[in-house]
Amino acid sequence: MRMLALYSIKGGVGKTASAVNLAAEAAAAGQRVLLWDLDPQAATTFYLRAKPKVRGGVARLVKGKAAYDKVIRATQVENLDLLPAALASRELDHLLAERHDNQLRRILKPIRDDYDLVILDCPPSLSTLSESVFASVDALLVPIVPTVLSLRTLEQLRDFLDERDIPCPVWPFITLADRRRTLHREIIDSLPERWPLRLSHTIPSASVVERMGLERAPLRSFAPRTAAAQAYHQLWEEVAQRLS
Ligand SMILES: Nc1ncnc2c1ncn2[C@@H]1O[C@H](COP(=O)(O)OP(=O)(O)OP(=O)(O)O)[C@@H](O)[C@H]1O
Ligand SMILES: [Mg+2]
């Protein structure tokens, strides 16, 4: 079972949009995918039309497989299931604090044969939860809006991981890109040199991505021929190639 996280310290950079679209692309490619909404704002849960309530809370999850059947929802996307954002974050933080580093991976142990890929949609913070994310995933997918500040938070993340010797690969990719803007172009073109592990496919800034909130579905379900949908398709292929 592979695990990836959409992660950034910065808010509003496209983590949730990317988590939903990449999960849908992976599912369309035949993988059995679980999307875990770790953000109490529950945007992923909203996009996939699931109600953000888990009866019994997160403690229930550690009790074994039967409990999962009650909390995991199928979505309207084939092969894509959702673990909704019901886990009150304090409760989850508490659970993580008292257990092992890679607690998120451990929590999923009873269902690890049911999924090929788990994608985590993370809140924009650096907390106990994020440290467990770093210890659990195969890589962090970090959306970068092509601005100086966004690059700075990427460097802060790298410093944080380096200082603590956390061996978690960081795969940045550009999103919300507008190639008509000189600064965007300059930052996009400079990324390969500064970040050799960056993913090469760029997600454009496109109003169709904002429409996901109205359609409540991944791009490939309602606008598969748009540039943004194609970009997510290609980005997923690149990620899949790295994982294999
Ligand atoms: N490629 C894009 N083009 C245009 N708008 C986008 C794009 N990606 C995301 N958005 C919009 O930007 C806003 C923030 O996106 P999103 O919710 O995915 O970010 P986030 O990093 O998950 O935010 P948060 O940190 O609050 O969880 C949303 O309104 C979304 O519709
Ligand atoms: Mg989000």
User: If pLDDT is split at 50, 70 and 90, which confidence band does 55 have?
Assistant: low
Give the pLDDT confidence of 153-173 residue by residue, as tens digits: 999 999 999 999 999 999 999
Q: What is the mean pLDDT of the chain?
A: 89
Note the maximum CA span of the chain. 54
Q: Domain limits at 27?
A: 2-243
Q: Which of 83-97, 191-205, 222-236 has the lowest mean pLDDT?
A: 83-97
In whole angstroms, give the CA distance from residue 235 to residue 31.
Answer: 16
3-state SS, residue 83: strand
Residues whose CB is less than 8 angstroms from the CB of residue 31 and which lie 6 or more positions away in sequence, other chains included: 79, 116, 117
Contact 149, 220 (CB under 8 A): no
Question: What total number of domains does the chain contain?
Answer: 1
Residues whose CB is less than 8 angstroms from the CB of residue 240 and which lie 6 or more positions away in sequence, other chains included: 26, 29
Give the pLDDT confidence of 84-105 residue by residue, as tens digits: 876 555 667 676 766 667 778 8
Give φ, ψ of 71 to 5 degrees.
Answer: -105, -30
Contact 83, 70 (CB under 8 A): no
Residue 50 sits in a domain whose CATH number is 3.40.50.300
Residue 107 pLDDT: 83
Burial of 51 (0-12, 13-18, 19+ CB in 10 A): exposed
Q: Identify the residues whose C-beta falls under 6 Å from ligand 1.
A: 11-17, 39, 43, 124, 175-176, 203, 205-206, 209-210, 213, 228
C-alpha distances out from residue 146 to 6, 99, 133, Å: 17, 37, 25
Contact 26, 20 (CB under 8 A): no
Which of 176, 179, 207, 233 is the best mutation target for the ligand 1 pocket, counting ligand atoms within 8 Å of the beta carbon and taking the most? 176
Which atom from ligand 1 is nearest to the alpha carbon of 41?
A: 27
User: If pLDDT is split at 50, 70 and 90, which confidence band does 53 have?
Assistant: low
Number of the ligand closest to the Cα of 212:
1
Which atom from ligand 1 is nearest to the alpha carbon of 213?
A: 31
Contact 25, 232 (CB under 8 A): yes
Distance 91 CA to ligand 2 centre (A): 19
Give the pLDDT confidence of 2-13 residue by residue, as tens digits: 999 999 999 999
Which atom from ligand 1 is nearest to the alpha carbon of 206?
A: 3
